[in-house]
Amino acid sequence: MFKKSGLFLLHRISKKETTEATEKNYNLKEKILNLKISVVSFKARAMRRFLFTIIIFNLLAIFLFSFPCLADFRFVVMGDSRGNDDGINTEVLGQIMDRIESEEVDFIVFVGDLITGSKSAHTHRKRLLKWKSLMDGYRIPVYIAIGNHEIKDEGSEDMLRSIFEMPENGPSRLKELVYSFDYENAHFVILDTDIYKEFHRLGKTQLEWLEKDLTSNKKDRVFVFGHEPAYPVGSHKDSSLDAFPSERDEAWSIFQENGVDMYFCGHEHLYNRSIKQGIRQVITGGAGARLCAFSKDGGFYHFVIVDVKDNGECEVVVKDNNGVIRDNFVVKE
């Protein structure tokens, strides 16, 4: 009995130990399995995060490279680059063009006074050709408005036509000096505020053409450009379009009746923006000519970037020749 009891006890102990060992082994296997599951789960999560990051990165890259300026198109406006380097401030104009080159713009509108004009036809032509050569080096299309310093005598207008090829849809006497063109969803009009012997005025012929052109326009946005301000703010008061207020007012009424968004001009060597009877005027005469105002009053070298966006808004950013943003505003549809 005793032996049987001992064997029975030994058997029970042995069975208990075996059971405990089995449970421990099972628990260990379970832990290992859970650990493997955790590792697999971690790897899966990590892979999902990696793939998600790659997808987002690619989408962002596509977005940025497809829409570098978040706009339907982008153009630059600037004016007044004359100086002492053979009639041009090549240093400042070069600085500005270097900045513009990195902005990925579609074209430039230059609002006059490209050079310091000369009474010598040879010198005058040489300076215009030098200006054109400098700008052509950047391979960005440029449209020009005529400034008073481009007009020295009765031959100046034909000289400009022979050097610059502009659209020929203006009034017969003013072809290539007055013109318009369409780009994407916008209409652009270039006026001549400095017709030979008719400085500071637009005249009946040009005003009639302007009204006809704008009346027939079908584009959403309308931008008008000329050298002289309609409402000067600095040294050229009474020697801009305000010298003939009735013609200035008639042009402004045509702007109002035909949805003109902005009038860009130069002549005064500064930056200024204002709203006159619902029409924005932007003076941008800071591409190199000697400044005529303190920096706080707009006296700094600069250029104006206009982004025309798909939703109809226009975002305007003004940068100086160092690339610093000096002003920005949005024009709603």
Q: What one-character-per-residue DSSP string does 251-304 give?
A: HHHHHHHTT--EEEE-SSSSEEEEEETTEEEEEE--SSSPP-S-GGGT-S-EEE
Q: Give the CA distances from residue 112 to residues 13, 51, 56, 99, 283, in Å, rounded to whole numbers and listed in that order.
A: 108, 54, 46, 20, 12
Per-domain residue ranges for the chain?
1-66, 69-331
Percent of the chain with pLDDT over 70: 79
Q: pLDDT grade, residue 55 (50/70/90)?
A: low
Q: Kindly write down the DSSP assignment for every residue of 154-189, as one continuous string.
A: TTHHHHHHHH------S-GGGBTTBEEEEETTEEEE
pLDDT in tens, 240-288: 999 999 999 999 999 999 999 999 999 999 999 999 999 999 999 999 9
* Mean pLDDT estimate for the chain: 87
Q: Which of 207, 193, 213, 316 is nearest to 258 (CA)?
A: 213
Give the mean model confidence (pLDDT) for residues 11-32. Answer: 53
Superfamily of 69-331 according to CATH:
Metallo-dependent phosphatases (3.60.21.10)
The single residue listed with the structure tokens 């036509």 is: 161
Written as one letter, the residue type at 97 is M
Candidates 142, 192, 187, 188; CA nearest to 164 is: 142
